[in-house]
């Protein structure tokens, strides 16, 4: 009887479309072999200051049309309870999120993260300082929907595991639309993250191609904003097995790309110094079959002088 009640509750949780439009929306949200561009939902807390809200608007301008800006005031905190955040992300069909707040304990606070299968996968909390918005740079802006070039500078992005995951998170958030071919004149935007003494500096530039007297143009960078410095406060990263599961691609996609799935490596780990360690499992030895007597090769033969 208990099993029947559980099955009935599970059936009630399954969404059933009532209209054709609702059916199309649910089919679009189902897992696809090739997923669309990841959308980002940008939220604010009721205590967020003007700089935090303006920074969300700048992120929205960079990521349009693959972003949703919600200007209503929320009261939840992601690191205390993720249920409200997961609900908002699922409702807006967004795999990425950003949330700004401000308090006496954590002033100028922003949380950037991503979800997997409807649950929070990774998120990091930063303190932002030295912020300059897009409007404070009186320069021509980039074209809407332009895919930016993402650059990372700093040794910690290559050596520290947390910063490597943080690099993956920032790259996932700002990478832009998927493209198969790139036109040289379509390269307009550069986003540069620089790590200096634990501070991650974000700089945004517009690429200018000028005449150089040869076939290759002379490239110049013009800062267009936003400019902000991030200091990492807290992070909540997924375990390695869950992170590998999120990165796993279907076999059909690998066949389309002409690739084969690599065999899974078991009992292999990497320590804090980057050394690869392996564990070997051996069968139990039978000591009754162990030869203890010396063989004939060890006997001393007499040498007969001829």
Where is average pLDDT lowest: 1-10, 63-72, 113-122, 216-225?
A: 1-10
- Find the angle CA(293)-CA(295)-CA(298) to the nearest 5 degrees: 110
Tokens representing 216 are 């290759």
Higher pLDDT, 159 or 293: 159
Question: Within a 10 A sphere around the Cβ of 53, how many other Cβ atoms?
Answer: 17
Report the pLDDT value the prediction gives residue 6, as an integer from 0 to 100: 47
Whether 121 and 95 have beta carbons less than 8 Å apart is answered as no
Mean pLDDT of 162-174: 94
Greater confidence (13 vs 220) lies with 220
CA angle (61 as vertex; 69, 132 as ends), nearest 5? 105
pLDDT of 304: 53
Residue 7 has pLDDT above 50, yes or no: no
* CATH architecture observed for domain 37-239: 3-Layer(aba) Sandwich (3.40)
Task: Provide the phi-psi class of 154: left if phi over 0, else alpha when psi is between -120 and 50, else beta.
Answer: left
CA gap 37, 95 in Å, rounded: 10
Euclidean distance between CA atoms 85 and 75, whole angstroms: 11
CA 17, 23, 25, 26 dihedral sign is positive
How large a percentage of the chain has pLDDT more than 90? 46
**What does the pLDDT average to over 80-101?**
92
Residue 10: pLDDT band (50, 70, 90) is: very low
pLDDT tens per residue, range 36-82: 788 999 999 999 999 999 999 999 999 988 999 998 999 999 999 89
Whether residue 32 has pLDDT greater than 60: yes
CA within 13 Å, CB half, 47:
13
Task: Give per-residue pLDDT as tens, 169-227.
Answer: 999 999 988 777 777 777 889 999 999 998 999 999 999 988 888 888 888 999 998 99
The tokens describing 147, both together, are 């895919």
Rounded mean pLDDT, 114-138: 93
pLDDT value of residue 132: 95
pLDDT beyond 50 at 5: no
Does residue 4 carry a pLDDT above 80?
no
Q: How confident is the model at residue 15 (pLDDT cuts 50, 70, 90)?
A: low
Q: How does residue 8 score in pLDDT terms, banded at 50, 70 and 90?
A: very low
Confidence grade of residue 256 (pLDDT, cut at 50, 70, 90): low
CA-to-CA dists, residue 150 to 31, 187, 191, angstroms: 27, 12, 5
Given a cut of 50, is residue 234 above it in pLDDT?
A: yes
| pLDDT for 281 | 79
Q: Which residue has the higher pLDDT, 34 or 113?
A: 113
Percent of the chain beyond pLDDT 70?
83
């Amino acid at each position: 009887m208990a099993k029947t009640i559980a099955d009935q509750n599970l059936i009630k949780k399954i969404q059933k479309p009532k209209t054709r439009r609702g059916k199309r929306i649910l089919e679009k949200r189902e897992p696809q072999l090739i997923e669309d561009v990841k959308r980002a939902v940008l939220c604010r807390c009721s205590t967020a200051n003007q700089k935090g809200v303006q920074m969300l608007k700048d992120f929205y301008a960079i990521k349009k049309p693959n972003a949703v800006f919600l200007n209503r005031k929320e009261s939840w905190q992601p690191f205390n309870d993720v249920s409200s955040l997961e609900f908002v992300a699922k409702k807006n069909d967004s795999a990425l999120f950003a949330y700004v707040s401000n308090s006496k304990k954590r002033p100028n606070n922003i949380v950037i993260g991503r979800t997997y299968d409807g649950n929070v996968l990774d998120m990091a909390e930063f303190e932002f300082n030295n912020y300059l918005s897009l409007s404070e740079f009186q320069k021509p802006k980039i074209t809407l929907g332009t895919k930016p070039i993402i650059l990372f500078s700093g040794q910690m992005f290559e050596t520290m595991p947390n910063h490597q995951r943080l690099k993956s998170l920032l790259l996932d958030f700002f990478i832009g639309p998927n493209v198969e071919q790139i036109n040289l004149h379509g390269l307009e935007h550069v986003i540069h993250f620089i790590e200096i003494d634990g501070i991650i500096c974000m700089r945004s530039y517009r690429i200018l191609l000028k005449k150089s007297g040869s076939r290759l143009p002379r490239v110049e960078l013009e800062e267009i904003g936003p400019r902000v410095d991030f200091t990492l406060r807290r992070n909540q990263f997924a375990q390695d097995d869950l992170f590998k599961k999120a990165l796993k691609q279907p076999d059909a996609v690998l066949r389309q790309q002409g690739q084969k799935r690599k065999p899974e490596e078991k009992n292999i780990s990497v320590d804090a110094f980057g050394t690869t360690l392996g564990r070997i499992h051996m069968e139990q030895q039978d000591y009754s079959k162990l030869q203890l007597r010396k063989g004939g090769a060890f006997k001393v033969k007499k040498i007969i002088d001829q």
